[in-house]
Amino acid sequence: MSEEWVSLSDLAPGRVGVVRQLVGGRGFISRLAALGFTPGVEVTMVQNFGHGPLIVLVRDTRLAFGRGEAAKVMVEKASE
Amino acid sequence: MNESANQRIGNQITVALAGQPNVGKSTVFNLLTGLSQHVGNWPGKTIEQKSGTYHHHGTTAHIVDLPGTYSLTANSLEERIARDYIIRERPDVVVAIVDAAALERNLYLVAELLSLPAPLVLGLNMVDVAERQGMHIEPHVLQAALGLPVVPMVATKNQGVWELMEAVDRVSHDTADYTPSRPEIRADHQAVLAHIQQLIAGAVPDPYPEDWVALKLLEGDEEITSMIQERLDEARWQEVHTVLMQHEDAILAVAGGRYEWIGRMVRAAVVRPRMGQVTLTDRVDRYAAHPVWGLFILLGMLGLVFWLTYAVGAPLQELLDTYLVQAGAEWVRAALNGAPAWLVGLLADGVIGGAGMVITFLPILVIFFAALGLLEDVGYMARAAYVMDRFMHLMGLHGKSFLPLFLGFGCNVPAVMGARVVEGQKARLLTILVAPLVPCTARMAVLAVLAPIFFGPHAALVSWGLVGLSLVMLAIVGIALHELMLGGEHVAFIMELPLYHLPNARTIGLAVWQRSVAFLKKAGSIILVVSVVVWALSVLPGGDIESSYLAAIGRLLAPLGSLMGLGWRMMVALLTSFVAKENTIATLGVLYSAGEEGTRLADALSGALSPAAALAFLAVQMLFIPCVATVATVRQETGSWRWTAFSVALLLVVSFAAGIVVYQGAMLVGWGV
Q: How confident is the model at residue B78 (pLDDT cuts 50, 70, 90)?
A: confident
Is B163 found in the same domain as B192? no
User: Does B456 share its domain with B504?
Assistant: yes
Nearest to B492 among A26, A28, A46 (CB): A28
pTM: 0.80
Judge whether B401 lies within some domain. Answer: yes
Question: What pLDDT, on the 0 to 100 scale, is given for residue B265?
Answer: 92
B180 in a structural domain: no
Q: How far is B157 from chain A (nearest CA, A)?
A: 23
Instruction: Please state, in angstroms and rounded to a whole number, the distance separating the CA atoms of residues B534 and B576.
Output: 7
Query: Would you place residue B673 in the very low, low, confident or very high pLDDT band (cuts 50, 70, 90)?
Result: low
**A63/B496 Cβ within 8 A:** yes
Of residues B314 and B436, the one with the higher pLDDT is B436
For B567: left if phi > 0, alpha if psi spans -120 to 50, otherwise beta; the answer is beta
Contacts of A68 in chain B (CB under 8 A): 490, 493
pLDDT recorded at residue B491: 65
A23 interfaces chain B, CB cutoff of 8 Å: no
State whether residue B158 is helix, strand or coil. Answer: coil
The reported pLDDT for the residue numbered B5 is 42
Contact B102 A59 (CB under 8 A): yes
Look at B386 and A59 and tell me if their CB atoms are within 8 Å: no
The mean pLDDT value of chain B amounts to 85
- How far, in Å, CA of B138 to CA of B267, rounded? 11
Residue A24, Cβ density class (10 Å: 0-12 exposed, 13-18 middle, ≥19 buried): middle
**Largest Cα–Cα distance in chain A?**
34
Do B82 and B199 lie in one domain? The reply is no
**Rounded Cα distance, B47 and B206, in Å:** 26
- Contact at CB, B390 and A52, closer than 8 angstroms: yes
Q: What is the mean pLDDT of residues B260-265?
A: 94
CB B74 within 8 A of CB B153: no
User: Which range marks the domain in which residue A56 is found?
Assistant: 5-77
Query: Is the model's pLDDT at B228 over the cut of 90?
Result: yes
Is residue B193 within 8 A of residue B214, CB to CB? The reply is yes
Q: How many CB atoms lie within 10 A of CB B612?
A: 22
Within 8 A of B390 by CB-CB distance, chain A residues are 52-53
Cα Dmax for chain B: 91
Is the pLDDT score of A2 beyond 60? no
Is B453 in contact with B606 (CB distance < 8 Å)? yes
Give B589 or B621, the one with higher predicted confidence.
B621
In chain A, whose CA is at the least distance from the CA of B379?
A62
* Element (DSSP H or E) covering residue A44: strand A42-47
Calculate how close chain A gets to B22, using CA atoms only, in Å: 11
Cβ partners under 8 Å of residue B205, min gap 6: B227, B231
Q: Nearest C-alpha of chain A: how many angstroms from B105?
A: 5
Triad B60, B65, B66: Cα angle to 5° = 135
Say yes or no: B17 and B109 in one domain. Answer: yes
Give the residue on B whose Cα is nearest the Cα of A28.
B492
Residue B140 clears pLDDT 70, i.e. is over it: yes
Q: Does residue B541 have a cis bond before it (omega within 30 degrees)?
A: yes
Name, in order, each residue with C-beta under 8 angstroms of B166's C-beta and a sequence gap of 6 or more.
Answer: B56
Chain A residues with beta carbon closer than 8 angstroms to that of B492: 28, 31, 66, 69
Q: Do B56 and B199 lie in a common domain? A: no
**Average pLDDT value for residue range B162-167:** 94
pLDDT for B528 beyond 80: no
Q: Smallest CA–CA separation between A21 and chain B, in Å?
A: 10
The confidence score (pLDDT) of residue B595 equals 45
Number of structural domains (chain B) is 3
A54: nearest Cα among B521, B495, B299, B479: B495
Tell me the one-letter amino acid at B65. Answer: D
Q: What is the DSSP letter of B491?
A: P
End position of a domain, from candidates B241, B271, B301: B271
Which contiguous run of DSSP H or E holds residue B138? none
If asked whether residues B309 and B458 sit together in one domain, one would say yes
Q: How much is the average pLDDT of B281-303?
A: 88
The answer to whether residue A1 scores a pLDDT higher than 60 is: no
CA distances to B126, B622, B646 from B652, rounded to whole Å, are 49, 11, 10
Q: Choose the closest CB to A35 out of B105, B275, B289.
A: B105
Q: What is the DSSP letter of B79?
A: H
Report which of residues B60 and B396 the model is more confident about: B60
Residue B670 CA to residue B673 CA, distance in Å, equals 7
pLDDT band at B672 (very low <50, low <70, confident <90, very high): low
Chain A with chain B: Cβ pairs closer than 8 A: 115
The yes-or-no verdict on residue B220 having pLDDT over 50 is yes
Strands A73-77 and A61-65, sheet pairing? unpaired
Confidence band (pLDDT; 50, 70, 90) for B617? very high
Contact (Cβ atoms closer than 8 angstroms) between residue A63 and residue B495: yes
A7–chain B Cβ distance below 8 A for any pair: no
Do B311 and B228 reside in the same domain of the chain? no
Q: Please answer yes or no on whether A49 and B291 come within 8 Å at the CB atom.
A: yes
What are the pLDDT digits (tens) for B9-44? 568 999 999 999 889 898 899 999 987 888 777 776
> Under an 8 A CB cutoff, do B248 and A26 touch?
yes
A27-to-B220, B236, B579 alpha-carbon distances in Å: 8, 25, 45
With an 8 Å Cβ cutoff, the interface of chain B facing chain A consists of 70-71, 73, 75, 101-105, 108-109, 133, 135, 219-220, 222, 248, 251-252, 255-256, 259, 275, 281-282, 285-286, 289-291, 382, 385-386, 389-390, 393, 490, 492-499
Task: Find the residue in A nearest to B112 (Cα).
Answer: A34
Give the closest of A26, A34, A66 to B108, CB-based: A34
Do B310 and B428 have their domain in common?
A: yes
A29 touches chain B (CB under 8 A): yes
Chain A contact set for B499 (CB, 8 A): 62
Give residue B537's Cα distance to chain centre.
Answer: 34
B-chain residue closest to A70, CA distance: B494
pLDDT bin (cut points 50, 70, 90) of residue B179 is confident
| A41 to chain B, closest Cα gap in Å | 10
Q: Collapse the DSSP code of B236 into the 3-class scheme (helix H, G, I; strand E, B; otherwise coil) and give the result.
A: helix
- Rounded distance between C-alpha atoms, residue A26 and residue B47, angstroms: 25
- Among candidates B207, B200, B189, which has minimal Cα distance to B229? B200
Residue B223 belongs to domain spanning? 187-271
Which DSSP symbol is given to B336?
T
**Contacting residues for B241 by C-beta, under 8 A, at least 6 apart:** B229
Kindly state whether A70 is in contact with chain B, defined as any CB-CB distance less than 8 angstroms: no
Count how many domains chain A has.
Answer: 1
Please compute the mean of the pLDDT values over residues A62-77 and round it to a whole number. 91
Mean pLDDT score, A36-62: 92
- Asked, for residue B302, whether it belongs to a domain, the answer is yes
Last residue of a domain, one of B146, B173, B200: B173
Q: Is the pLDDT of residue B45 over 70?
A: no
Which chain B residues are within 8 Å of A31, Cβ to Cβ? 70-71, 75, 492, 494
Helix spans in B268-351 (H): 280-288, 293-308, 314-320, 327-335, 341-345
Residue B625's alpha-carbon distances to B298, B405, B434, B531, B654, in angstroms, are 29, 16, 11, 15, 9
- Parallel, antiparallel or unpaired: strands A5-7 and A73-77: antiparallel
Task: Report the b/e string of B482-512 with b at 16+ CB within 10 A.
Answer: beeeeeeeebbbbbbbbbbbebbeebbebbb
A80 part of contact set with chain B, CB < 8 Å: no
The partner residues of B152 in beta bridges, in order of sequence, read: B124
Q: How far apart are the C-alpha atoms of B431 and B433, rounded to whole Å?
A: 5
Q: Best residue in A15, A18, A20, A30 to probe B by mutation, most B CBs within 10 Å? A: A30
What's B14-28 look like in SS3?
Answer: EEEEEECCCCCHHHH
Q: Is the pLDDT of residue B449 over 80?
A: no
Please count the other Cβ atoms lying within 10 Å of the Cβ belonging to residue B450: 24
Whole-number Å distance between alpha carbons of B527 and B66: 31
Q: What is the pLDDT of residue B336?
A: 84
Compare CB distances from B494 to A26, A38, A69 and report the shortest one's residue. A69
- Tell me, yes or no, if A6 comes closer than 8 A to chain B by beta carbon: no
Looking at the fold, whether B43 and B126 belong to one and the same domain comes out as yes
Burial B368-391 (b: 16+ CB within 10 A, else e): bbbbbbbbbbbbbbbbbbbbbbbe
CB contact under 8 A, A65 and B493: yes
Using a pLDDT cut of 90, give the percent of chain B over it. Answer: 34
Q: Does pLDDT of B561 surpass 80?
A: yes
Judging contacts by C-beta atoms under 8 Å, the chain A residues touching residue B290 are 47
Q: DSSP 3-state assignment of A19? A: strand
If asked whether residues B336 and B435 sit together in one domain, one would say yes
Contact, B180 vs B148, CB < 8 A?
A: yes
Distance CA B615, CA B437 (A): 17
Give how far Cα B111 sits from Cα of A10, B77, B114, Å.
32, 20, 5
Answer yes or no: is B280 within a domain: no
Question: What is the mean predicted confidence (pLDDT) over B551-573?
Answer: 86
Query: Rounded mean pLDDT of B445-471?
Result: 84
The Cα of A34 is separated from the nearest Cα of chain B by a number of Å equal to: 6
Residues of chain B with Cβ-Cβ distance to A41 below 8 Å are 259
Other C-beta atoms closer than 10 Å to the C-beta of B553 total 14
pLDDT in tens, B379-420: 898 898 898 887 887 777 778 888 788 878 878 888 898 888
Residue B629 pLDDT: 85
Q: Are B50 and B39 in contact (CB under 8 A)?
A: yes
ipTM of predicted complex = 0.94
Q: Tens digits of per-residue pLDDT, B301-331? A: 877 877 887 788 778 888 888 888 888 888 8
CATH of the domain at A16: 2.30.30.90
Separation of alpha carbons B318 and B182, rounded Å: 61
Residues B361 and B297 in one domain: yes
Last residue of a domain, one of B173, B206, B221: B173
The whole-number average pLDDT for the span B212-233 is 91
One-letter amino acid for residue B206 of the chain: D
> Where residue B593 falls among pLDDT bands split at 50, 70, 90?
low
Mean pLDDT across the stretch B115-129? 93
Residues 6+ apart with CB under 8 A from B607: none
Quick one: pLDDT at residue B249?
A: 84
Does one domain contain both B267 and B307?
no
* CATH code for the domain of B29: 3.40.50.300
Distances (CA, A) of B597 to B192, B453, B592, B600, B602: 88, 19, 11, 9, 14
Identify the DSSP state of B309. Answer: I
CB contact under 8 A, B494 and A66: yes
By Cβ distance, the residue of B108, B220, B494 closest to A63 is: B494
